[in-house]
Amino acid sequence: MRNNRKQSHLCGWILALSLVSLGATAYAQSVMDAAFPSRPLRLVVGANPGGNIDVTARIVAKQLAKVLGQAVVVENRTGAGGAVAFNAVRLAAADPYTLLMVPTGFTTGPALNPAGGYDPVKDFTPISTVSYFSYAVAVAAQSPHRSLADLLAAARAQPGTIGYGTGGIGSGQHLVAELLSAVTGAKFVHVPYRGGAGPVQDLISGQIPMIVEIVSILAPHAQAGSIRVLAVTGPARSPMLPGVPTMQEAGIGDLVVQGWLGVVAPIGIPAGIVDKLNQALRRTLADAETAAALEKGGAMPAASSAQEFAALIASETERWSRVVRDANIQPR
């Protein structure tokens, strides 16, 4: 009987100590959350300086630093289609001072490069989307195809005779074109380039009959009359090309595609810090000067909740894995 009482007292003390320990841990975490950030942050970018992702990251970092009251340093880590940067952040487990700017290609990587070493769904903590942009299908100014319907009819009548240029195998442009083929049954021939302005220049000169490209790249040439843009892939018309129909308006109701950029952190970031970073990004993107700078580059600023961004990453990973598999695009 006496031993039972001793054991009961001992269990009580252990429980009390455990509760104290948990309370102390929770208190310490709340203090850390409240103090965050107490030093500069870094925003890792898996692209070269001067490109779209890098420019967006620097625009966002400038205002984010003002909102957080700490410097946000952009760090370019290139290689392996972004996987070098992605893995560098993946390995910075639970470090809320290491952030990563991710493009749509973050979700296409696992299908295109299974040895890339990262899982976009399981290995990161989504914070928020940053911006969206649309792609478009264009032909040369001298092309006989006046509409997307004309182009698709020609491709169906003579499968495999109409080539389209992109920045390379597995690029966003390539995957959008393959999705267009899957949805419409029109068969095109992929003409991959090594990035750069080659596809647009060859379209203008008539060397290739068709191109899939980001709207902001095509808009100046369309406005100059050197190319004809047939349709944009977003859910609404682009302010840069207001006279060009969406895919839905052009009769392709099942095809809506937007590229995007967003910010993630390593796995294991406390919920309080995730919320603080999310709110900071919302304030950053609501800033008029920041929004105008992003819109000038053809992007639509748009923050999301962390949960919404997590759902987007999961759905995009599944979507593009299916496109890669169905089109038999070989991993890099």
One domain, residues 126 and 143: no
Predicted confidence band of residue 27 (pLDDT cuts 50, 70, 90): very low
Question: Once rounded to an integer, what is the mean pLDDT over residues 44-67?
Answer: 96
Res 259 pLDDT > 60: yes
What is the rounded distance in angstroms from the CA atom of residue 270 to the CA atom of residue 37? 13
Find the domain containing 188 and state its range: 134-232
DSSP 267: T
Within a domain: residue 28? no
The helix/strand/coil state of 163 is: strand
Res 22 pLDDT > 70: no
User: Which residue reads 């999310």 in tokens?
Assistant: 278
One domain, residues 105 and 162: no
Within a domain: residue 29? no
What would the pLDDT profile of 59-116 be if each residue is shown by its tens digit?
999 999 999 999 999 999 999 989 999 999 999 989 999 999 999 999 999 999 999 9
Predicted pLDDT at 117 = 95
What is the rounded distance in angstroms from the CA atom of residue 12 to the CA atom of residue 321? 54
Within a domain: residue 274? yes
Strands 41-45 and 98-103: parallel
Fill in the amino acid letter for 214: I
Within a domain: residue 315? yes
Cis peptide upstream of residue 103 (ω within 30 degrees of 0): no
What is the number of domains present in the chain? 2
One domain, residues 263 and 306: yes
One domain, residues 90 and 119: yes
Tokens of 26: 């929770």
One domain, residues 174 and 222: yes
Res 215 pLDDT > 80: yes
Within a domain: residue 276? yes
Secondary structure (H, E, C), 41-83:
EEEEECCCCCCHHHHHHHHHHHHHHHHHCCCEEEEECCCHHHH
One domain, residues 176 and 107: no
Within a domain: residue 8? no
What counts of helices (H) and strands (E) characterise the chain?
Answer: 11, 10
Fill in the amino acid letter for 54: D
One domain, residues 165 and 311: no
Within a domain: residue 198? yes
Residue 59 sits in a domain whose CATH number is: 3.40.190.150
Within a domain: residue 2? no
User: Which residue reads 């369309």 in tokens?
Assistant: 222
One domain, residues 267 and 221: no
The highest-confidence range among 10-24, 27-41, 150-164, by mean pLDDT, is 150-164
Predicted pLDDT at 130 = 98
| Strand-pair partners of 227 | 140
Contacts of 47 (CB under 8 A, 6+ apart): 53, 54, 76, 78, 82, 103
Predicted pLDDT at 14 = 62
One domain, residues 152 and 119: no
Tell me how crowded residue 242 is: count the other CB atoms within 10 A of its CB: 7
Predicted pLDDT at 25 = 45
Residue 149 sits in a domain whose CATH number is: 3.40.190.10
What is the rounded distance in angstroms from the CA atom of residue 41 to the CA atom of residue 32? 15
One domain, residues 168 and 205: yes
Phi-psi domain of 292 (left: phi exceeds 0; alpha: psi -120 through 50; beta: other):
alpha
One domain, residues 127 and 272: yes
Predicted pLDDT at 28 = 42
What would the pLDDT profile of 121-141 be if each residue is shown by its tens digit?
999 999 999 999 999 999 999
Fill in the amino acid letter for 305: S
One domain, residues 110 and 140: no
Predicted confidence band of residue 196 (pLDDT cuts 50, 70, 90): confident
More confident position, 28 or 21: 21
Point out the domain boundary residue: 163, 197, 232: 232
